[in-house]
Amino acid sequence: MSHNLLKGKRGIIFGALDENSIAWKTAERVHEEGGTFVLTNAPVAMRMGQIKDLAEKTGSQIIPADATSVEDLENLIEQSMEILGGKIDFVLHSIGMSVNLRKGNHYTSQNYDWTQKGTDVSAMSFHKVMQTLYQKDAMNEWGSIVALTYMASQRVFPDYNDMADNKAMLESIARSFGYFFGRDKKVRVNTISQSPTPTTAGSGVKGFDGFISYADKMSPLGNATALDCANYTITMFSDLTRKVTLQNLFHDGGFSNMGVSDDVMETFTRDK
């Protein structure tokens, strides 16, 4: 159902890989709400995913860019403004990667070159994206920048590994850069802390299926899906949330404020 919330708005969406990804669902919803955008992903991710299908479906162009390369980002932003016919109104940063996690290195036994790579992709890239947008004065006033994060940035989830540190840094960058973007350009910057979601990135975490069902039993409203997250992101891109900035917004069915739920307690008392 469309409300034309993003009619006439232009944006850049990072990280759409396949139809399970939050960025993909967000792109579909932005299109339905009347927004236009450029899709971008790392060249290697583009070979793996089906981003061309999404571009066709939404009438969008794809610009490959390595989000850790300032040169690539400068090119991406210049080309995007050319293609879209003006400055940018919204940006979604939906990028995260841990080589340690992918290769099975425990948190207590990291390969620090891999750690650095993960930090660069998952967190520093957000600073680079914003710095490039800021220096090029590429955002319209009252524009909105959103990055996706996860609650492991603030609490311990043992198997989330060094991604937890990356997300903590990502959230800090959102606040710090968000201050300058708000003060100088009237642009808002927020992070959305989403429920565990079965995406390509998420399902790389050990014991992920068990964790999804635990979070679902813990949350009074159950887990938020990728589509739910896309809908929330749309509201953050719209003019309805103009004064929301520097926030880490929990979108998790209530999980973040729970201590324990009846459903979870039942599991432990059943055998007594």
> Quick one: pLDDT at residue 90?
99
- How does pLDDT run across 70-79, given as a tens digit for each residue? 999 999 999 9
SS3 115: helix
Q: What is the CATH number of the domain that holds 48?
A: 3.40.50.720
Residue 3 forms part of a structural domain? no
pLDDT on residue 197: 93
pLDDT score of 199 more than 90: no
Output DSSP code: residue 262: H
Between 2-11, 107-116, 187-196, 200-209, the lowest mean confidence (pLDDT) is in: 200-209
Contact 20, 226 (CB under 8 A): yes
Q: Count structural domains, the chain.
A: 1
Does the active-site annotation cover 150? Answer: yes
| Listed residue (216, 249, 218) closest to 232, CA to CA | 249
Distances (CA, A) of 248 to 113, 151, 168: 29, 10, 11
Q: Is residue 262 part of a domain?
A: yes
Contact 38, 61 (CB under 8 A): yes
In this structure, is residue 21 part of a structural domain?
yes
Strands 248-251 and 188-194: parallel
Amino acid at site 215: A
**203 confidence band (pLDDT: 50, 70, 90):** confident
Looking at residue 207, what is its pLDDT? 81
Note whether residue 1 is domain-resident. no
Computed over every residue of the chain, the mean pLDDT equals 95
The C-alpha atoms of residue 115 and residue 266 are separated, in whole angstroms, by 39
The single residue of 134, 150, 179, 214 carrying the catalytic annotation is: 150
164: which residues sit within 8 A by CB, 6+ positions away? 152, 153, 156, 157
pLDDT at 205: 76
* 59 domain residue, yes or no: yes
Among 65, 67, 43, 38, residue whose Cα is nearest residue 54: 38
Instruction: Locate 50 and state its tokens.
Output: 């089906």
User: Cβ(196)–Cβ(212) under 8 Å?
Assistant: yes
**Binding site membership: which residues?**
15, 21-22, 95, 167
Higher pLDDT, 240 or 270: 240
What pLDDT is stored for residue 271 in this prediction?
A: 64
What's the mean pLDDT in 86-97?
A: 98
The whole-number average pLDDT for the span 51-61 is: 96
Binding residues for NAD(+): 15, 21-22, 95, 167
* Domain region containing 25: 10-269
Model confidence at 272: pLDDT above 70: no
Mean pLDDT over residues 147-171, rounded? 97
Domain assignment of residue 199, yes or no: yes
Q: How confident is the model at residue 46 (pLDDT cuts 50, 70, 90)?
A: confident
For position 240, what pLDDT does the model report? 98
Q: What is the pLDDT of residue 29?
A: 98
Residue 195 belongs to a domain: yes
Give 204-235 pLDDT, tens digit per residue.
Answer: 777 888 889 999 999 999 999 999 999 999 99
Catalytic-role residue among 160, 179, 214, 232 = 160
The reply to whether 182 falls in a domain is yes
3 state SS for 193-228 = EECCCCCCCHHHCCCHHHHHHHHHHHCCCCCCCHHH
Q: Is 134 noted as a catalytic residue in this protein?
A: no
Yes or no: say if 37 and 92 are a contact pair by the CB < 8 Å rule: no
